[in-house]
Every structure is written in structure tokens, then in C-alpha cells.
Structure 1
């Protein structure tokens, strides 16, 4: 049974916690653009239960993506009618990166007094530069990441874990209406798998609890079994899932 109210509540918090640069509303869909940095900020997402999609609206949104030089991407969270996925598939959109949205209660979280995890209420150029560098790939664009996180209007905490004064792991927490969202949890590539990400997550969950949140939420790709196992051990359970439908890249000449 799909819990539409839970999906809408978390999707609206996600929209506020990870801002885009351009928003367009189309008959129950929100199209967001942020120069291609992350799919969640550059996709069309249903925001009404039972929202559908016809050929004309699809073409209109595709044109808007292309005008912005962003790959047309639809993020399907279960609010849409079943025929939407079929339409996108017939139009050649590829299904990629199924993702779980997980939640965990905070009432059982112990005080986290991890003095090596520093929490700052405002973003710094250093945090952005280090986190983007550790992400690498498409997420190495620190200038765009700075623009996105600088637009957050909810209460936030930018976490940095230092070992021997060296930054080794980062994360972002955003509190809104009883929930704390966890974003951009990243560990230096050569130090992954030794529990540093867990320490950042625990510190942000404790911070969220102290700021009045009762539940934490985050998103993780289904294929990332290591991260899902970590979050499961911290009490996270599946709330819903979403998938992406992306327009294939044009064939090279």
C-alpha cells in the first residue's frame, strides 16, 4: 500500500533541502533544473497523487530540459499513474538508478559526543571543495554545489570529520518540520569502509534530534548494498522507492 501522504511530505522536504535554480510546475509535476548537478535537482517529479502524463506535456517538458542543456529526466516516486512509466519506456527513456528512501526514528538515538565531527551552521568554501573532490566524477563541480547548498533556507548543519586534524568525511543535515534529511555523506576514497561515514551520520542524527526532529530520512541507491547495510544497522527502514527514466544520449555520428 503506497502511503501518498508520506511520499508527499518527504518529497516536499527534499525539494526544500536540495534547492534547484529553476522550478516549473506542470499539471502536478515539478520540473527542476540546476545545470545538471545531481538528478534530484534536474528532473521532473510528480507532486500529486494520481498525476498522469500525455504526449503533449511530455514533449513540452523535454523541450524545456533541452533548452537548459540538461538531459531530460523523470524521477518516478509512485505518485504517478502506472501508465506514465509505460509512456516513457515507449518513447525510449531508459530506466536507471532505482533508489530507496529510508527513514529512522530518533527517539532511540544516544547523545553523540564525537568531538572529531565538527558541525557548522553555514557552508564554507572549504567544506564544498573537500566534499566535491571526494565525490569526484560529475559531482566534482564545487562551484555548482556551492550554489545549491547556499540556497538552503531551512536550518542546516555541515559536518566535517577530522582525523589528526585532516578532513576525511563530510555530510549535510537539514531540519524541517520534525524531520532531518541527511545529504552528501561522503568519505575520502582511501578511507572508506572503516566506519567514518557512520560517525558522520550518527552526529547529524543526534543534531537533528536536538533541533526537534523525530525522524531522519535519506536516499540510497538500491545497488549500494554496503550503505544500505550500514543504514539498516542504524535503524533505517524503507519508506518508498523511486526510479529514473532518462532520455538516451544521441548516437554519435
Structure 2
């Protein structure tokens, strides 16, 4: 499988997780929600050559976040200008949240080994499971609640039930040939039974039906269990990113 360019993956990921507020500052996409998810509440550059007036632009972005009482956060990817990180360091920003972006081909993946429900919008059971499984903050849950109304690209919410209870969930969006998987979570008492794998495979099957040929996902670098699952499904690392936040 030929690895899609970083720019295509970054744009697909932004489309799959829209923010309630968004503005452009040159090639930087500045997004703000309720202060929950990093991708929804950070500035991401899409052009490594876009480094004019970086100190002034960083200060301007800081002011945007201050208007809403949110801490400024900058997401550094391979598309960030090389000069951006030193500017942030000089302003007291530390590194956090190292994340791996993985990519895999959808063709050839097996069918789920059991039933999984796919819906056009999440129901309360989906929300209850993602909150209980991942321990999400109230701010993150508020952002998830807005997601169905904000999405422009096709998306699906996947639920795996055990004895009538939703035990594992996932969300997937299809941006043309690229699908973006997110929100994979399993209730602690239900882990180790292959339910997350089933939710992923159901998500990928839906994405194939929408015309996607590859999928990408983002996983924290220290999440060994998730990394092992995705590697077994044929996913491999494309690149990494980190956040810079004021310490």
C-alpha cells in the first residue's frame, strides 16, 4: 500500500473531527470547542513553509483562545514550520501528548466475527459507553454531542452489544478515499474479548461501502494495547505529532 501524503491525512482528520469554532491564520487552522479534545482545541499548520511573522501570529492565536477562556494549544506535525517550535519554547510551551498516526489498507480486511450495529448518529447508549469506557471529561462529552451536527463528510457510529448492553463503540468518517477511525472504546469489564477489534472491522466495512480505500487513526504513543490491535490489522505508523501547551 502506498502511504497517502501527510497533507491528505491531516485534512481528512480535521474533516472527521470538526470544531464549533474555526479560523485560519495563514495556513494554520485554529480550532476551539469546549476545551476537551486536543484536535478540536488547537492550532495546526498545513504548510511547513508558512513561517512568516510566527511570533506575532502565535500571540494573535493566543488572544483568540483567551477570548473564550481556553488555554492556547499548538499541534506540531510534519507540516509545521521548523521555526514554530523554538518560538513556542521561548514563550514557555512544553511538549505533551505524543500521538502516532497509523494508516492501513481496507481491502483484504476480514469481516467482523460477530454482530455490530452501524448508525448514522449516536444514541444515548453509544454516549454512555464511550463516557464509561474512556473516562471522558464533561468538556469532551459536550464536544462529542455536537459532532453529528457539525460533520459534513459521511460518518457512522458503531456499537457492539453483549447481552443487550453496548460494550464497545467506535466512530468512522469517510473523506473520499480516506476513512478516519476514532473513538474506539470498550467498557473495562468487557475488555480482552475482541470487541474493539469487532467494532473496528465493522467501521472499516462501512468505510469501504462509502468508497474509502485506506483508513487512518490516531493513538497515543504509550497505548500498547491499541497499538498491538492496529498492527495486527495491518496498520503501520505514518508519522507522529505532539502538542505544545503552556507549562
Residue 168 of structure 1 and its aligned partner are, at CA, apart by 0.6
Query: In 2, distance between residues paired with 1:56 and 1:134?
Result: 41
> 1:194-233 counterparts in 2 under 5 A?
194-233=193-232
Residue 244 of structure 1 and its aligned partner are, at CA, apart by 0.5
Query: In 2, distance between residues paired with 1:5 and 1:191?
Result: 34
> 1:15-94 counterparts in 2 under 5 A?
15-52=14-51, 54-94=54-94
Query: In 2, distance between residues paired with 1:67 and 1:56?
Result: 17
1:177-196 deviations in Å (ceiling 9; x for gaps): 11111110011122223322
Report the more deviating stretch, 185-194 or 85-94: 185-194
Aligned equivalent of 1:133: 132
TM-score (norm 2): 0.92
Residue 215 of structure 1 and its aligned partner are, at CA, apart by 0.5
1:223-249 deviations in Å (ceiling 9; x for gaps): 11121111111000111111110112x
Call closer, same or farther: CA 1:169–1:140 in 2, change over 3 Å: farther
**Aligned pairs, how many?**
245
1:187-234 deviations in Å (ceiling 9; x for gaps): 112222332211111111122112211101100011111211111110
Structure 1, gaps ≥5 residues long: 249-253
Q: Is the 8 A contact 1:20 1:41 kept in 2?
A: yes
TM-score (norm 1): 0.90
1:59-112 deviations in Å (ceiling 9; x for gaps): 111111111111110001111222211211121101001111101001111333
Aligned equivalent of 2:188: 189
Q: Is the 8 A contact 1:114 1:203 kept in 2?
A: no
Query: In 2, distance between residues paired with 1:25 and 1:46?
Result: 10
Call closer, same or farther: CA 1:127–1:145 in 2, change over 3 Å: same
Aligned equivalent of 1:11: 10
Residue 148 of structure 1 and its aligned partner are, at CA, apart by 2.3
Q: Is the 8 A contact 1:19 1:149 kept in 2?
A: no
**Which secondary structure does the structure 2 equivalent of 1:162 belong to?**
strand
Query: In 2, distance between residues paired with 1:71 and 1:128?
Result: 26
Aligned CA RMSD, in angstroms, stands at 2.0
Call closer, same or farther: CA 1:160–1:96 in 2, change over 3 Å: same
Residue 113 of structure 1 and its aligned partner are, at CA, apart by 6.0
